[in-house]
Amino acid sequence: MPTSSVTYTATPAEKAWQDHLLLNDFYGLLDATPRRTPMRELISTVLSHRTTHRDEELAYDRMLETFSDWEGVLQAPTAELAHAIRTTRWPDTQAPRIQEILRRIKAEQGAFTLDFLADWPVEQGLAWLTDMPGIGLKTASLVLLFNFQKPVLPVDTHVHRVAQRVGMIGPKVSTEKAHHVLLELLPKEADVLLNFHKHNYWLGQHICFFAKPDCPRCPLKGFCNYYLEHYGPADAAALAATPLQWQGEKLH
């Protein structure tokens, strides 16, 4: 299995890089080809708030099947839009937000497009996106990284939890602040940042659980503060028992 030369006295930057290398081996390296159009990434991320991937996709598909296109979604009675996206956690809140986002994009750009963000500096793009209702730093960073390969790092609750337990960030660093703190630890390269985000997101979802992390299955145990506190130093037997690669359900 991939082993770590990093000790428990490693710096946060050393831990972040070792995390990146080990999880590349564990989950496989992802390429930075956008998985969705920018508009879809933006609206799907709004729909995904506290909602499973399956229910988010269901809501997105129903919305466009019902109203045909973005103009149809914008013009739809808000209650009917809320009904179409009812598999999301808060449809009555998300429906007017989505319509306001669409209204502003159309009013400012003359069309339902985010392609202009490719030419904007990162800070300007982040400021423009986070000025929209319901769009925070995480969603804005996802769109800029995934669709435009900008050097930003989205940090959600899973990435935040893993980073704190491993010791890449301190216990008092908020999720919002972690966007900046973790970014400073990593190369400003979109492919590195995308892999770091997705891999740690998956680790948080399927191994480093909130209530009871499944540390024996975790490739980061060799330099994780939480592991050290709860199990002691990871010895050769514990490291050798770690699966080489992810063997669970399909990840997305």
Residues found near ligand SF4 in the complex (CB under 6 A): 162, 165-166, 207-208, 213-215, 218, 220-221, 224, 226-227
Question: Closest separation between CB of residue 10 and ligand SF4, Å?
Answer: 14
Question: Closest separation between CB of residue 238 and ligand SF4, Å?
Answer: 10
Element (H, E) at 203: helix 190-206
Cα radius of gyration (the chain) = 20
Between 85 and 159, CB nearer to ligand SF4: 159
Question: Closest separation between CB of residue 166 and ligand SF4, Å?
Answer: 5
Between 20 and 221, CB nearer to ligand SF4: 221
Between 69 and 210, CB nearer to ligand SF4: 210
Rounded distance between C-alpha atoms, residue 241 and residue 252, angstroms: 26
Degrees (nearest 5) of the Cα angle 217, 220, 221?
70
Question: Closest separation between CB of residue 51 and ligand SF4, Å?
Answer: 24
Query: Quick check: 125 and 144 in contact, CB under 8 A?
Result: yes
Rounded distance between C-alpha atoms, residue 217 and residue 88, angstroms: 31
Q: Is the dihedral of CA 80, 143, 26, 50 positive or negative?
A: negative
Question: Closest separation between CB of residue 235 and ligand SF4, Å?
Answer: 14
Question: Closest separation between CB of residue 145 and ligand SF4, Å?
Answer: 22
Question: Closest separation between CB of residue 29 and ligand SF4, Å?
Answer: 20
Could you tell me which of 189, 194, 193, 159 has the C-alpha nearest to residue 176?
Answer: 159
Between 4 and 139, CB nearer to ligand SF4: 4
Between 150 and 165, CB nearer to ligand SF4: 165
Element (H, E) at 38: helix 38-47
Query: Quick check: 56 and 89 in contact, CB under 8 A?
Result: no
Rounded distance between C-alpha atoms, residue 16 and residue 182, angstroms: 8
Determine how many CB atoms are found less than 10 A away from the CB of residue 2. Answer: 15
Distances 240 to 126, 208, 220, 244 between C-alpha atoms, Å: 43, 19, 12, 9
Between 43 and 224, CB nearer to ligand SF4: 224
Between 202 and 227, CB nearer to ligand SF4: 227
